[in-house]
Each structure stands twice: as C-alpha cells, then as structure tokens.
C-alpha cells in the first residue's frame, strides 16, 4: 500500500484516479489542482508517490516536477498525459519521473504503474 498525492487540474480526473487507487488498496493522502499546489502539498504530506498531470494552469507538471526533484531527488512521480504528448513524457522521464500513464486511463494501468514505482 502506498500513500499517494493526486495532482490534476480537473476535479473529475482527480476523483477518478483517487477511486482507482483506493479500490486498489492505496491511501490517497491529498490532492492538488496545479503545479504550485502540487509542490506545496508534496512538502507538507511527503507521499510515497505523486501522480502529476502534465497540462495544468499556473504551473505545468513539467515545471512542478523539476522543482520537486530539486527539493527531493528521491521523489517518486508518475506523470499523467493525454495521448499524443510523447515528447513531453520523454522530457518528464529525463527530468526524473519514474513512469507515466496515458489518458484516458485504464484502471489496471494506473495500479500497475504505482506497483512498479513502489516495488
């Protein structure tokens, strides 16, 4: 079981990811709606894993990821992106993301990604 922070600007996406994670036996310790909030909540909650959307207002996921890795090089981040954002996903992996999940999500893929990065 992992403690997870779910970050997405769309409330329904946060709910969907949270539901999949809790039904898979994980604990969702918090949510954030943009990159600024993601960095703050991460420092506050110190989750085992953070799911981080790439496209968000204020501060996008890539910028937030770079800030997080600078603060905590051991941070475990799984990026979430819409199909067709392969270049951004590659950039995220180079910046320190451990895995990525493509939207629209398949519940099993979300759980597999979390298991993979927490093994």
The CATH number for 3-118, chosen from 3.40.30.10, 3.40.50.620, 3.40.50.720, 3.40.50.2300, is 3.40.50.2300
SS3 content of the chain, % helix, strand, coil (to 5): 50, 25, 30
Q: How far apart are CA 3 and CA 26, in angstroms?
A: 6
Q: Give the pTM.
A: 0.95
In this prediction, residue 85 has a pLDDT band, given cuts at 50, 70 and 90, of confident
- At 22, list the tokens: 């809790």
12 has a pLDDT exceeding 90: yes
R_g of the chain, CA atoms, integer Å = 12
pLDDT tens track for 33-77: 999 999 999 999 999 999 999 999 889 999 999 999 999 999 999
What residues are paired with 15 via a beta bridge? none
Q: pLDDT value at position 81?
A: 87
Q: pLDDT value at position 39?
A: 97
Break the chain into its structural domains and give their ranges. 3-118
Nearest 5°: phi and psi at 45?
-95, -25
In this prediction, residue 19 has a pLDDT band, given cuts at 50, 70 and 90, of very high
């Amino acid at each position: 079981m992992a403690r997870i922070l779910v970050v997405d600007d769309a409330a329904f996406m946060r709910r969907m990811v949270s539901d999949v994670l809790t039904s898979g036996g994980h604990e969702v310790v918090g949510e954030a709606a943009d990159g600024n909030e993601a960095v703050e909540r991460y420092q506050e909650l110190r989750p085992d894993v953070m799911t981080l959307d790439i496209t968000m207002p204020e501060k996008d996921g890539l910028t937030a990821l770079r800030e997080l890795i600078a603060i905590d090089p051991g941070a475990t981040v799984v990026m979430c992106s819409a199909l067709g954002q392969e270049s951004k996903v590659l950039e995220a992996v180079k910046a320190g993301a451990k895995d990525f999940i493509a939207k629209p999500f398949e519940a099993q893929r979300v759980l597999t990604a979390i298991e993979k990065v927490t093994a």
